[in-house]
Amino acid sequence: MRWIKLLGWLGVGAMTVVIGSAFINGSFTEDGGALLQNPWGIVSLVDLYVGFVLFSIWIVLREEKTSAIILWVAAMMILGFFTGSLYVLKAAYESKGDKKIFLMGTKG
């Protein structure tokens, strides 16, 4: 589990830096518009959101409370793998080294 926690923390750190940089140095509307005009930009967005949905399936399978599911999935769709990295950390720390609990939570 140590390496999963390490990757989770690296993901949180990397996403914090790049999201912060984008807000400071970029324009969401201008840069987003340019992305949507590029066919590969569209491919990248579709690829990204397919990943968000697939990761969200794991969240739905693990979480017991509907309110938690809604909040985590909404955060995933808005903040992407910043949220995914946080969720990996949550699951890793809750599991206390048990792989079944890491994968399926207490539902499994």
Range of the domain at 70: 2-104
Pair 82, 16: CB distance under 8 Å: yes
What's the confidence (pLDDT) of residue 61? Answer: 95
Please give the structure tokens belonging to residue 60.
């739905």
Q: pTM above 0.85?
A: yes
Count CA within 13 A, CB hemisphere, residue 46: 7
What's the confidence (pLDDT) of residue 108? Answer: 59
Give the DSSP H/E element, type plus range, for residue 39. helix 39-62
Beta-carbon count within 10 A of 43 CB: 10
Pair 85, 102: CB distance under 8 Å: no
Written as tens digits, the pLDDT of the chain (108 aa) is 899 999 999 999 999 999 999 999 998 888 888 999 999 999 999 999 999 999 999 999 999 999 999 999 999 999 999 999 999 999 999 999 999 999 998 875
Please give the structure tokens belonging to residue 100.
């079944």
Pair 88, 80: CB distance under 8 Å: no
**C-alpha torsion angle, residues 11, 93, 54, 59 (rounded to 10):** -130
User: How many structural domains are present in the chain?
Assistant: 1
Pair 42, 36: CB distance under 8 Å: yes
What's the confidence (pLDDT) of residue 32? Answer: 85
What's the confidence (pLDDT) of residue 30? Answer: 87
